[in-house]
Structure 1
């Protein structure tokens, strides 16, 4: 995917990370499992940003 901001692909500014959306957690039948998925996604995001 080409970078939208002119940066080279693969640089921190050009990376995307999809996560579970909070509204999906609120609508889920199993909110605990959905929330755990959101927390796992955000943990990955923290690792990428460090």
Structure 2
């Protein structure tokens, strides 16, 4: 019974490590851009705000 528990624990650990590497490769690198509003008007930018870079 102990051998089965050790095998199960080892397999779960290997799966967790592999999943963390796989998920760390997914995602957006760099700054996130704010999407435009879905409804309503876009808010005006204050005059002292820096312009957004595209």
Q: TM-score of the superposition, structure 1-length normalised?
A: 0.40
Q: TM-score of the superposition, structure 2-length normalised?
A: 0.37
* Larger fraction in helix: 1
